[in-house]
Amino acid sequence: MADFWRDKTLSQMSDSEWESLCDGCARCCMIKLEDEDTAEVHYTAIVCDLLDQQACRCTQYPKRHALIPDCVQLTPARATEFSWLPTTCAYRTLAEGRELAWWHPLVSGDRATVHQADISVRGKVVAQSRVHEDQEMEMIVNWVEQ
C-alpha cells in the first residue's frame, strides 16, 4: 500500500511495513553513553560489532538479541519510549506525528538517499571491538540529532 505510514498508526502496521520504516542509517547501532546524574544520552562513533558499516545493516539481524543481550528491540508499542533515538529516525518521527524526510527510502524510492543526505553512519564509525572501554568518552560525537 502506497504511503501506508500516512494512513496507519504504528500499531496498525504489518510486520513488513514496520520493518520497512527502517531507513538504514544505523544510528540505533551506535553505542550510547548515559550520564548517570542527568540521564542525558551521548552518542559515540562506536557501533555494534554486528553492523556491516558499508551497508548500514545488521549482519545477524534475526539473531541479534540473542547475540547482543543489550540490543534494544523496538516495537510499535514501545516506540514512544525511545526518546534517545535521533529525531531523524522514522520510528520516532512517526510516533511524534511528523512526516518522513525527503531522503527516507519510502519517500525517495531509493535506499541510497539516506547515505547521500549524510544521515547514515557510513564512513563515520568504528566497531566496538576496536575501541578500548577507556576510550569511549573520547568517542562522543555531536553529529547525531536527538
Domain ranges of the chain: 9-139
| pTM as predicted | 0.90
Confidence class for position 48, pLDDT limits 50, 70, 90: very high
Q: How far is residue 40's CA from residue 33's CA, in Å, rounded to a whole number?
A: 8
Residue 43's nearest CA partner among 81, 3, 85 is 85
What is the H or E stretch that residue 15 is in?
A: helix 15-20
Q: How far apart are CA 119 and CA 135, in angstroms?
A: 24
101 CA to centre of own chain: 15
pLDDT (0 to 100) of residue 77: 84
Per-residue pLDDT tens digits for 81-133: 878 889 999 999 999 999 999 999 999 999 999 999 999 999 999 999 999 99
Other Cβ atoms within 10 Å of 65 Cβ, number: 13
Average pLDDT, the chain: 93
